[in-house]
Structure 1
Amino acid sequence: MPRKRYAEDLSVEELRLLLIEKQRARRQKRLEHFRRSGRLVVVDDHPTQPPLETLASRPLSEETPPATANPKHTRLDRLLLAIEILAVLGLAFVLLNGFTLIRDLNREVVAMINQPTLTPTPAITAIVLPGGHTPPNSPGGPRPNDAEIPEHLRPVMLSLPELPTPTPSVEQAIRIQIPAIKVDAPVVQGDGWEQLKKGVGQRLGTPNPGQRGNIVLSAHNDIFGEIFRDLDKLKPGDQVILYSNQRAYVYIVQQTQIVEPTRVEVMAPTQEPIVTLISCYPYMVDNQRIVVTARLQE
């Protein structure tokens, strides 16, 4: 009785022949099944079947020839690959552009932050300093001196808006005292011709006593009481006392200067609390202005 052989006992060639034989048996079985069911029409009852040795002599790779690639599928695959590559390149471009944009924005923000703080230029509210008038001994007597206004600025003077008179408040200045030159006078709102007939006029839009900013006060030196006649006698350290309905505020004189009537920058707003006193100068000539600046005493 021949010995039973196992798969590990067979050579490679024998295993190959055995595999081919099994494949042929399965194929024959399927063909018989198709014949019995009528699904197969027999053309040749004795089909030429290559001998087992011939099949065995073929390499396994030749038994099932590789499927030929469809040219249409190849072109489509190449097109899709090209689209994917373009999409990746586009995404890379968008990301790079986004990083560049963010970097530029950051630089602009840093540049804006590091810019020096600009001091706003105050709007033009006057062409000449207040209180200007002709001397009392001039022909026709004292009157507003329109000749002080440069001719080319007179249309601008007429177009300047009139500020409304502020609503009365307990914080407004109501009186001024300057002990060194014996001044004790009421303070009214406004520094026009009519207001300065009543006392010392506070320029509209300037702050109340004690507040941060430049309080501008004007009065005449040779008419309507000659309240500010002796401003030129004030020295640094002298007191200017402003009263409201609540309390008194003491300002200390810092400097005195003689300027042209067009030096309106002396009325510009300030960050520190000061008071600016203005009057015509010199006495009975009135072609300039005397300006005294005093700072709030802490």
Structure 2
Amino acid sequence: MAYRDKRPVDELSIEELERILTIRKRELREKQMARMKKTGRVLPTDVPKPSITDLPANAPISEIINQQLEALSGGNGTPTSPTVSSQPPVIKTASPRFDDDERLIQDLAELRQRQQEARDRVWRRFVNTSLLLVEVAAVFGLFVLVFMLFQSVQELESQTAAVQQEANATRSAMIPTLEPTPVLRLKLADVVLPGGHIITESGGVRFKQEEIPSHLLPLVKEEIETPPITRPPKTPETALRISIPRLNLDESIVQGSDWEALKQGVGQVLNGARPGDDTGNVVLAAHNDVYGELFRHLDQMQVGDQFTIQTEQNVYVYKVREILQVEPTDVWVMQNTGVPTATLISCYPYRVNTHRIIVFADRIN
């Protein structure tokens, strides 16, 4: 028993479709022929064809024609005239043509077209897929190329950095090492002349910070608040005593010009100068209205007056060269002039103390 093929038309091949259509065409033709026979539209095809009796090869042509006429006339020697029918003649063909043939041919053409379209869709799908794979491969290759390029750049930068470091180390080794810059430490004597003070209304005395420039005060404030508690060690050439005949003054000298040193007497500014040096300025300061008023009459000194400074080994004589009144910040008066000198400093005027009186003297012995 044969089973019916249940596959859809799109899955059939061209040969299978043509075979199906041929079978259907034959079935339709047979049905059409059966209807036409019932209606008398088909003539029987079993009428015997007129035959030509065998004649000798040398028979005359007239005899052959007579025989043919007899066959056409039914054997009675009289040709029959054709019957004229009012119906249109029926054309007999070996294979009759039906209206269903065109429809079948059209169906076959549509099926072939659909199969061609299906094949085209498959081909286009294959081409699109192939192109997509090619694009994906190209993008992947591009990413790989960019990654390799990035790695190459990184490697080049690393090598360049290593070379630069090595070259920098070589150049640094060739640069001579400089001595560190000494830290600048500002002293109180570098900012203001010694001896500045204020007598309060209650009779007390304090250091006059107002004389120090405000931008320099933080640099020397520690020295003001914490005076040194130790003094430089004494040497054979340390200044020990000053004698000024015009002022009837004969006092010991304290090393230092800070607040505590001037409380004790005449103080020497610690600038490294000694009376016996060939160059240097021995600077001595004392108060004029507090702590013994040792330099109260310093303004009475005159040019040409002499005074002495004593050490353990010698006594040095100085002669007054010049007397000036200056501002508290005129620290230039304590500079080294290149010759052995001495400078005496005190506040001025008496109990006003807005300026300083300066006595310059040269060593003469």
CA distance in 2, matches of 1:190, 1:134: 20
For each residue in 1:185-225, what CA deviation from the matched residue of structure 2 results, as whole angstroms up to 9, or x when unmatched? 11010011111111110011231113121111000001111
CA distance in 1, matches of 2:298, 2:267: 15
Alignment of 1:13-92 (within 5 A): none
Give the greater-gyration-radius structure (CA).
2
CA distance in 2, matches of 1:138, 1:264: 29
Name 2:99's counterpart in structure 1.
Answer: none
For each residue in 1:17-40, what CA deviation from the matched residue of structure 2 results, as whole angstroms up to 9, or x when unmatched? xxxxxxxxxxxxxxxxxxxxxxxx
CA distance in 1, matches of 2:222, 2:351: 31
User: CA shift at 1:140, angstroms?
Assistant: 5.3
Matched, 1:194 2:257: no
Alignment-mate amino acid for residue 299 of structure 2: D
Name 1:41's counterpart in structure 2.
Answer: none
For each residue in 1:143-181, what CA deviation from the matched residue of structure 2 results, as whole angstroms up to 9, or x when unmatched? 111111121221232478999843211211110000011
Name 2:147's counterpart in structure 1.
Answer: none
Alignment of 1:212-291 (within 5 A): 212-291=279-358
Alignment-mate amino acid for residue 127 of structure 1: V
Contact 2:316 2:363 in 1 (8 A): yes
Name 1:23's counterpart in structure 2.
Answer: none
User: CA shift at 1:279, angstroms?
Assistant: 0.6
Alignment of 1:109-258 (within 5 A): 125=187, 126-135=190-199, 138-139=201-202, 141-158=204-221, 165-211=231-277, 212-258=279-325
Equivalent residue pairs, number: 176
Change (3 A) 1:165 1:273: same
> Mind listing any 5+ residue stretches in structure 1 that lack a counterpart?
1-121
Alignment-mate amino acid for residue 146 of structure 1: Q
Contact 1:206 1:216 in 2 (8 A): no
What TM-score do the two structures reach when normalised by structure 2?
0.45
Contact 2:186 2:219 in 1 (8 A): no
Q: What is the percent sequence identity of the aligned residues?
A: 46
CA distance in 2, matches of 1:156, 1:224: 27
> Mind listing any 5+ residue stretches in structure 2 that lack a counterpart?
1-183
For each residue in 1:77-98, what CA deviation from the matched residue of structure 2 results, as whole angstroms up to 9, or x when unmatched? xxxxxxxxxxxxxxxxxxxxxx
Change (3 A) 1:223 1:140: closer
Contact 1:174 1:186 in 2 (8 A): yes
Contact 1:267 1:276 in 2 (8 A): yes
CA distance in 1, matches of 2:267, 2:222: 22
Other structure's SS at 1:134 match: strand
User: CA shift at 1:247, angstroms?
Assistant: 1.5
Alignment-mate amino acid for residue 352 of structure 2: V
CA distance in 1, matches of 2:237, 2:324: 29
CA distance in 1, matches of 2:259, 2:213: 19
For each residue in 1:117-152, what CA deviation from the matched residue of structure 2 results, as whole angstroms up to 9, or x when unmatched? xxxxx99642110111003x6445211111111212
Task: Determine which structure has greater relative contact order: mean sequence separation of CA pairs < 8 Å that are 6+ residues apart, divided by chain length.
Answer: 1
**Higher-helix-fraction structure:** 2
What TM-score do the two structures reach when normalised by structure 1?
0.55
